[in-house]
Structure 1
Amino acid sequence: MIIYGSTMSPYVRKTVVFATEKGLDFELVMAGAQGGPPEFKEASPFGKMPGFKDGDFLISDSTAIITYLDTIKPEPNLIPTEAKARARTIWYEEFGDTIVAACGGKIFFNRVVSPKFFGRPGDLAAADEAQKTEFPKLLDYLEKVLPASGYLVEDRFTLADIAVVSPLVTMSLADCSVDGGAHPRSAAYVAKICERPAFAKLIAQEKAQLAA
C-alpha cells in the first residue's frame, strides 16, 4: 500500500494520519507537481496529491482514498455511523478541505512553497491579507462550534478532527498559528489534536524538512 505525496499538503497529511490511526501498513513516496514515479501519474492523472496504490488499485483524492481505507478496515471507527454524526463529520471534512485549505493555500504557497521549492518570491501581500481577514473568521466559527469535550463529533476523535486540523498545521508551518488569546478554545483544540502521535511525528518531520 503506497500513499504518494508530501505531508506538507493538508490532503496528504490528512490521508497519512487517517491511515496511521487505522493501524494500516503503508509506504509514503514523495510525489507531486514536480514529479514522482510513473505509478503516481497513473493514480493521479492530473498530478494532484495524494495518489494511492494498493496492488493493482490506483486512485487519487484524499476523500476517495480515505473512503477506501475505511471500507477495508472499518475499525477503529473514525467515521461515525449514526446519521447526524456522520453528516457532521462529512461537513467538517468539507470545511477543512475547501474553506480552511483555501485560506491556508494562499498563506503556505506564497510564504513557503513559491520561494523554497520554486525559487521565486511569493505574493506576501496576499498571504498577509488572508491571515488578517480570512483566518480569524475560520477560527471564530471553530470557536463557536467546538464542544466542551474538545472533539468536533461524538465527543471523540474522528475524521472531522483530522480534516480540520490538518490545514491548520500547514498554516502554522508558514507562521500562521492560532492565537490562544483571541481564540482559546481553538488553540487548545489544535494543540490537543497535534499531540496525537500520528500528527506529532509528521509535524516534527515537516519542521525539520523546512529548516534544512
Structure 2
Amino acid sequence: MLELYQFELSQFSEKVRLILDYKGLEYKKIEVTPGIGQLEVFKLSGQRQVPVLKDGDIFIADSTEIALYLDSKYPEKPLIPAEGISRGQCLLMEEWADDSLGLKGRKAFMGALNHYPNFRTSFLPKNTPDIFKTFVSAFPSEIFNAIGMGLTLGNDIFKTAEKGLKKDLEALTLILQSQPYLIGDKPTLADFTVAALTTIIKFPPVAYFDLPLDLEGKGIPGIADNSAYEPFFTWRDRLYAEYRQPVDKSSSSNFNDGSGDSQPTSIEIE
C-alpha cells in the first residue's frame, strides 16, 4: 500500500490526497511529528518537508514530483495532458499555483487569524471554555507576528496577500465561466492543485480534514464571503464532491477509508 508522510492541514499534503483519491489509489496516511519525526523523514527522503510518498522501496518528496510519479506509475486517469498547448498550460498553471497562490493563501490565512479575533476563535473546538475563547480573542497581534509560520504578519503583508488573492480568484472565476475545468473539458493537475491550495482560503462545506476541529465552510473574511468569487468556490466544492473522499469524524482516521487510530500533529509544510 502507498504511504503518505504528511501534515493534515498542509495544503500540499491535501493536494496529494486529492490526487490519490482522484486516481482511486488506496493509501495510508502517516502523520509526521515535529523533531524526531522530521529527522525520520530526512533519513528516508533526504529532506524534512512534507509531503513524502512511499511506494514500496521508493520515496518521492515534493507534491509536484509525487504527481508526476503517480501519473507515470499509475497512468489510468491521467493528471497531465499528453502533449501540445494543454500540457504546457497545465504545467505552467500548476507551478504558478504552487509558488504564488499557495504562499499568498498562507499569508492571508495567518493574517486573518492575526487581524480578526472572531475568525481566530472560530477554529477552537466547540467545547472550549468561554474564558479561554476570550483569552484567545484578546491575544495580542504582536504575538502572532512573532510565531506565525515563519511569516511576517504585519498589516501591510496581510493586505498585499489579500489583494493578490482577490486578483487571482477573479482570474480563476473568469476562466471557469466558459469551461468546466481550468484546462479544457477534463480535470488535470492544474485543477487539483488550485482546488487543494484554496482550502485554507475557504474550507469546503464537507469534512475532508481529519482534525478535531469543525473547519467546514469557514474562510477568510472579505474573501470567502465575497459573492464575486462564489462561482469559483462552487466549482472547487463540486470538484471535491466528485473526487475527494470525505473523512468520517465519528472515528479517528489514519487511512483514506476511515480506518486507523493516529491523531494528526504538526510539522513544517512545503
TM-score tier after normalising by the smaller chain length: 0.7 to 0.9
Match of 1:69, SS state, is: helix
Gaps of 5+ in 2: 114-119, 124-138, 146-152, 204-217, 253-263, 266-270
The question of whether the paired residues in 1 share the 8 Å contact of 2:41 and 2:47 is answered with: no
| RMSD of aligned alpha carbons | 3.2
Gaps of 5+ in 1: none
Identity in percent? 24
- Indicate whether 1:135 and 2:162 are aligned: no
TM-score with structure 2 setting the length: 0.64
Equivalent position of 1:6 in the other structure: 7
- Indicate whether 1:188 and 2:234 are aligned: yes
Match of 1:169, SS state, is: coil
Instruction: Give 1 or 2 for the bigger CA radius of gyration.
Output: 2
Distance apart, 1:72 and its partner CA: 0.8
The question of whether the paired residues in 1 share the 8 Å contact of 2:107 and 2:157 is answered with: yes
Distance apart, 1:155 and its partner CA: 1.1
Match of 2:53, SS state, is: strand
Count of residue correspondences: 203
Equivalent position of 2:84 in the other structure: 83
CA deviations over 1:110-167 (Å, ceiling 9, x no partner): 556xx99xx9624363674245322111112212322523311121222111001111
Equivalent position of 2:194 in the other structure: 164
Find the aligned partners of 1:63 and 1:181 in 2 and give their Cα distance.
31
The aligned runs of 1:1-212 (5 Å cut-off) are: 1-31=2-32, 34-36=35-37, 39-109=40-110, 121-122=144-145, 123=153, 125=155, 128-130=158-160, 132-173=162-203, 175-176=219-220, 177-179=223-225, 181-198=227-244, 200-201=246-247
Q: Which amino acid aligns with 2:219?
A: D
Distance apart, 1:197 and its partner CA: 4.5
Distance 1:188 1:172, change over 3 A: closer
Find the aligned partners of 1:201 and 1:124 in 2 and give their Cα distance.
35
CA deviations over 1:98-119 (Å, ceiling 9, x no partner): 111010121334556xx99xx9
Query: Could you tell which deviates more after superposition, 41-50 or 55-64?
Result: 41-50
Distance apart, 1:199 and its partner CA: 5.8
Find the aligned partners of 1:9 and 1:126 in 2 and give their Cα distance.
24
Distance apart, 1:178 and its partner CA: 3.7
TM-score with structure 1 setting the length: 0.79
Find the aligned partners of 1:131 and 1:180 in 2 and give their Cα distance.
16
The question of whether the paired residues in 2 share the 8 Å contact of 1:5 and 1:32 is answered with: no
Q: Give the number of the structure with larger relative contact order, counting CA–CA contacts within 8 Å between residues 6 or more apart.
A: 2
The question of whether the paired residues in 2 share the 8 Å contact of 1:95 and 1:164 is answered with: no
